Amino acid sequence: MASELSFIMIKPDGVQRGLVGEIIVRFEKKGFKLKALKLVQVERSFAEKHYEDLSSKPFFAGLVEYIVSGPVVAMVWEGKGVVLTGRKIIGATKPAEANPGTIRGDYAIDVGRNVIHGSDSVESAHKEIALWFPDGVVEWHSSLHPWINE
Ligand code: UDP
Ligand code: MG
């Protein structure tokens, strides 16, 4: 019964390229439950905080530049195994290594324009959700729940 949450963000290239609907439909049709969603353009300091674990990487400055370059769609999805399954739906970090059928495999070419972010663990999901949705998520009953979960 204990449900897992993941933080999923459509990056500025995904928004600009009109991929918001295509991406949401994959999580929705899988059976995951939407718990929060907003379109927002973040400040540099906020992007740096989100990616603070990568601050020593050579690509960090470019990554922050990319994330602040336009609005992003921030979401929280819920469901059994949503963190790991969400990463599978998204595909490998480098689009060239992402399988066809995954979001990055289908829609991206460069690692620095890889369309989408997904939490890499339950622990980072909690951290990211607290950062992006400090007022919490929406608790609601989905009538589909018993048709998706045994
Ligand atoms: N990134 C990059 N160059 C690299 C590795 C990563 O520009 O060599 C960017 C890319 O947008 C990636 C993000 O930094 O999605 C975060 O990197 P991470 O290793 O956490 O990959 P992810 O969890 O997004 O698959
Ligand atoms: Mg990551």
Averaged pLDDT, 116-131 = 98
Position 99 scores a pLDDT of 98
Spatial separation of the C-alpha atoms in residues 29 and 38, rounded to whole Å: 20
Helix (H) / strand (E) element for 7: namely strand 5-10
Give me the percent of the chain exceeding a pLDDT of 70.
99
Residue 90: φ, ψ to 5°: -75, -45
Residue 25 CB-density burial (10 A; 0-12 exposed, 13-18 middle, 19+ buried): exposed
Please tell me the distance between residue 147's alpha carbon and the centre of ligand 1 in angstroms: 35
Question: Would you state the pLDDT for residue 2?
Answer: 57
Residue in this structure with the two tokens 């400040």, named with its chain if needed? 43
Question: What pLDDT digit, counting tens, does each position of 66-95 carry?
Answer: 999 999 999 999 999 999 999 999 999 999
Q: Which of 7, 59, 97, 123 to mutate to test the pocket of ligand 1 (most atoms within 8 A of CB)?
A: 59
* DSSP H or E segment with residue 63: helix 60-67
Q: Which amino acid is at 137?
A: V
